[in-house]
Amino acid sequence: GAVVSQHPSWVICKSGTSVKIECRSLDFQATTMFWYRQFPKQSLMLMATSNEGSKATYEQGVEKDKFLINHASLTLSTLTVTSAHPEDSSFYICSARGRSMLYGYTFGSGTRLTVV
């Protein structure tokens, strides 16, 4: 089945530094990648949608300069949290959609970011 590999699974960084999270589709071409943020005991909040080769579309209220998304190939999308602050600490999840809706969406395993 379709697999999305997300790395790192957890990261601790100092305030003011940047962190990059990668999502790779291992056995299919991901035409669209979605990035979510999930707070404890809450649902997934869509941050942005990226299509291969084009700029990401950010949801209202999400700072595009803080959360940089790159989707340079059909198998790789990255989310970079720039100048991270403690309030950026959260669980980030990517999801990929292939060319066929047969299996819907495949989610990465998530990244727990802690900014100290």
Partner 1 sequence: AQTVTQSQPEMSVQEAETVTLSCTYDTSESNYYLFWYKQPPSRQMILVIRQEAYKQQNATENRFSVNFQKAAKSFSLKISDSQLGDTAMYFCAFMAAYSGAGSYQLTFGKGTKLSVIP
Interface ranges with partner 1 (CB under 8 A): 32, 34, 38, 41-44, 46, 49, 57, 91, 93, 95, 97, 101, 103-105, 107, 109-110
Q: Is residue 92 within 8 Å of 36, Cβ to Cβ?
A: yes
Rounded to a whole number of angstroms, the minimum distance from the CB of residue 53 to partner 1 is 16
Nearer to partner 1, 18 or 103 (CB): 103
β-pair partners for 96? 33, 106
Rounded to a whole number of angstroms, the minimum distance from the CB of residue 16 to partner 1 is 27
Nearer to partner 1, 82 or 91 (CB): 91
Residue that the structure tokens 């495949």 belong to: 106
Rounded to a whole number of angstroms, the minimum distance from the CB of residue 13 to partner 1 is 20
Closest CA to 14 of 93, 111, 102, 113: 113
Nearer to partner 1, 52 or 110 (CB): 110
- Which tokens belong to 54? 């084009």
Nearest-angstrom CA–CA distance, 109 and 116:
23
